[in-house]
Amino acid sequence: MVTQETDDLVFHKTCDLLKPYNKKNIALTMDTDIATELEIDSVAILDLIMEIEDIYGISIPMNLMADIRTIGNLVRAIHDLGGNK
């Protein structure tokens, strides 16, 4: 039986992927703004998304990027695309 990964687990996996970009070592929460607080440039965010896509076997359309500002937004997008399995 396929079990769904909890959003909490998705959050922790996402935080692990964000570690190399977290140069100021700020505390990551669901509300952390990926672009402004972590200062990740637009292309690097796309590369990060690709790593997440590989892990969950999903494609996150670029059209959704405008709505993904925080880590929480990203976790929700993964959930909605059925990736947290």
Q: Which residues bind other proteins (CB under 8 A)?
A: 41-44, 46-47, 49-50, 57-59, 61-63
Of residues 11 and 56, the one with the C-beta less far from other proteins? 56
Minimum distance between the CB of residue 62 and other proteins, rounded to whole angstroms? 4
Strands (E), 17-82: none
Non-local CB neighbours of 3 within 8 Å, separated by 6+ positions: 85
Q: Least CB distance from residue 58 to other proteins, whole Å?
A: 7
Residue 12 or 40 with smaller CB distance to other proteins: 40
Task: Compute, in degrees rounded to 10, the torsion defined by CA atoms 7, 13, 16, 21.
Answer: -70
